[in-house]
Amino acid sequence: MEIKRVNDSFSVSGQLTLADLPALQTAGVKTLIGNRPDGEVAGQPAHAELAAAAAAHGMAVYYLPVVHDTINSVDVEQFAALLASSNGAVHAWCRSGLRSVTLWSLAQVKQGADPAALAAQASALGFDFTSFATRFAGVMAELRDVFATAPLRAHCPLLIVGGGAGGISVAASLLRRQPGLAITIVEPAEQHYYQPGFTMIGGGTFTDRQVVRPMASVIPKGVQWIKAAVVHFLPQRNQVVLTSGECLSYERLIVSAGLKLNWGAVEGLQETLGRNGVTSNYQPGLARYTWELVQGLRKGRAVFTQPPMPIKCAGAPQKALYLSGSHWLRSGCLGDIDIDFYNAGAVLFGVGAYVPALQRYIERYRANLHFGHNLVKVDGPNRLATFAYTDAAGAIARTEVRFDMLHVCPPQCAPDFLRNSPLADRAGWMDVDQHSLRHKRYANIWGLGDCTNTPNAKTAAAVRKQVPVVADNLSADLRQRTGSSRYDGYGSCPLTVEHGRIVLAEFLYGGKVAPTFPTWLLEGSRPSWLAWAMKCYLLPWVYWHLMLKGNETLTAPEA
C-alpha cells in the first residue's frame, strides 16, 4: 500500500490492511478515516476488523463511507469535523485514495482555499482532478455559503420540483384533497411528454403528436409555474437554488425530477445519435427515426442494447426489438436480418413469471441474446458498436460488433443536481422511505418517480400508485398528523411482443406478481390483444385525463 502524503498532518492511500497499521503508527498517525464502503469488493477487510486492530496501535478509526460521484456537503462537513478533532496526523483511505483526497480538498475549500491550487496539488500526487471544479461546483458554493446572499425570489409554502408525470399528478391530487392549496411547480421544459408512447412511435403505431402537450396546458389550474431549473438543494435552510442564482424557500417540498439519460457515458454515442443507423426510443423526437430505420432495413444486422439497471421502463429496450422483429416478420424479410440483443444484465426480464412468454418471442424473431455485455463505444460512420464483458478468466474484455441498425438504451443515473445534494443516498438517488415516500432525514420533504431510491420498476405506472401516497401523507402532515399511506412497490411494464399483442407484467416490491384484472379477462404472462388495445387507447387517456387531473381510480394506497 502506497501512502501519499498531502501535507505534514494528512495522508491518503488505497485499501488499508492490518499489516499497514504499524507503519502508520510509526509515522505518528492518530486518526484513521475509512471512506470506502464495507463490502465494495469481495475479500475487502471490514471496517470493524481494522478498527479493533488499530485501537491496539493507539489509533482511532472512523467510518465515513462515500461514493466519489455523490460526495455532498454533509460528507465534507463530517470529514472536516474529524480532521479538526484529531490530536495528531490523520490518514484516510478508500480504493485508490481519490475519494479521501477529494473530501480533504473540499474541506479546504470550505476554509477559503483556491480549488485550482488544490486540484494542482492532488494532480501532482497522481490523482485525476481534471473535472474537480466543475463536478463539485454546487457543493463548493454550499460549503462557502455563497447562497447565503442569494436573492430570495419567492416563498412557496408547497414547492414541487419537476413537472413530469409525478410532479403534475401529485399537484392535481393534492388540489383534489384541498382545493385552493398554494402550490408552486419549478419546471424548465416547455413540453410535457407521455413517455410510454415513445415505444409505440418506434413501432410505427403512434405519431409524435400523440405523446406531447404544452407544459402550460397540463399544469393544474391555480398552481404557480416557475419556468426555471433547480441547481441545488439547501434542505437545512428549506431552500432550493435556481439557475438564475435566486432561491425559493419552502415549508414542504416534493421532488419528482426524473432521471438523467447519460448519453455521454458511451464514447461516440452523442455525435452519431440520429444518424448512421443509430437511434433510441428514449430520446424525444428520435423514436420516429427508429421506425424509419426499421422500415428501411431489408437485410443486415440489427443490434439492440440494454445498460446496467436501474433504468426507466426496464422492458423498453426489448420492446423496441420485438416491434422491429414483428415488422420484419410481417414484411417477409426477417430471414435476411440478424437480430442481436446485448444486455448488461444477466436475465431477459427481472420478474421470472414473464420470461417464458418473452423467450418464445426471442425464438420467433431468432434473436441472439448476449447477457453481461455493456455498450461502451459507438463508431457511427463505420457502424461499429463496442461492448465490454467479463471473460471466462474474470478479466474485462471488449468485443466489436458491426451493425446496420443500432437501437441504444442509454445508461441512466440520478440528475446531477440531486446526486451531489444532501437529499441523495450513496448511489445518488433521492433517499426516501420506500413505503411512506418521505425523505429519510428531512421530514418536510417527499419524493416520487424515477429520481428516488425505492426498489420498484421506474415506470409511469409506479408513479400513478405513488402519487396518492405522497398526497395522503403530505395532506396529513399539513393537519399536523402522521400519514399512514404506504406504497407497495407496484410497477407495470406492458411488453409489446408483437403488433397487436402485449405481455402485461405487473408486480410489487420483491417481484411479487400483482395483476390488476382477473385472469379470465387478462392473464399477464400470456400475450394479449386486450392489453394491446389498452396500451393504444385506454392508458394514454388515463394518463392525460385521469392521472394528470388528480383522479385516483384504482390507485387507492394501503394504509
Q: What is the set of active-site residues?
A: 313, 493
Binding to ligand FAD by residue 258, rule CB under 6 A? yes
Q: Using only C-alpha atoms, what is the Rg of the chain?
A: 25
Helix (H) or strand (E) holding 7: strand 4-7
406 bridge partner residues: 278, 303
Cβ atoms within 10 A of the Cβ of 63, count?
Answer: 15
**189 forms part of the interface with ligand FAD (CB under 6 A):** yes
Binding characters for ligand FAD, 465-494, by CB under 6 A (x = yes) = ---------------------------x-x
Cβ proximity to ligand FAD: between 230 and 334 the closer is 230
Give bridge partners of residue 432 from the DSSP assignment.
439
With binding defined as CB under 6 A, does residue 198 bind ligand FAD? yes
CB of 543 to ligand FAD, least distance (A): 9
Backbone angles phi, psi at 8, to 5 degrees: -60, -25
E strand segments, 149-243: 152-161, 183-186, 191-193, 212-214, 224-226, 230-234, 239-242
Per the CB < 8 A criterion, the answer to whether 215 and 225 are in contact is yes
Closest distance to ligand FAD from the beta carbon of 35 (Å): 28
- Secondary structure class of 32 (helix, strand, coil): strand
Between 36 and 419, CB nearer to ligand FAD:
419
- 61 vs 302, beta carbon nearer ligand FAD: 302
Nearer to ligand FAD, 166 or 483 (CB): 166
CA-based nearest residue to 456, from 316, 309, 557, 318 = 309
- H or E, element range at 114: none
Annotate 392-415 with three-state secondary structure. Answer: CCCCEEEEEEECCEEECCCCEECC
3-state secondary structure of 295: helix
Asked if 163 is part of the footprint of ligand FAD (rule: CB under 6 A), the reply reads: yes
Backbone angles phi, psi at 503, to 5 degrees: -95, 115
CB of 555 to ligand FAD, least distance (A): 13
Stretch that binds ligand FAD, among 196-204, 323-331, 334-342, 517-525 (CB under 6 A): 196-204
**Closest CB to ligand FAD: residue number:** 164
Q: Is 165 in the site for ligand FAD (CB under 6 A)?
A: yes
3-state secondary structure of 421: coil
Q: Is 546 in the site for ligand FAD (CB under 6 A)?
A: no
Q: Which stretch binds ligand FAD (CB under 6 A): 6-14, 85-93, 252-260, 291-299?
A: 252-260
Q: Does 423 bind ligand FAD (CB under 6 A)?
A: no
Q: Is 256 in the site for ligand FAD (CB under 6 A)?
A: yes
Residue 334 within binding range of ligand FAD, rule CB under 6 A: no
Q: Is 257 among the residues that bind ligand FAD (CB under 6 A)?
A: yes
Strand ranges for 438-500 from DSSP E: 445-447, 491-498
**Total chain residues near ligand FAD (CB under 6 A):** 37
Phi, psi of 203 (to 5 degrees): -100, 10
Assess 459 for contact with ligand FAD (CB under 6 A): yes
> Applying CB under 6 A, which residues contact ligand FAD?
161-167, 186-189, 195-196, 198-199, 229-230, 256-258, 281-282, 312-313, 316, 415, 417, 449-451, 458-461, 463, 492, 494
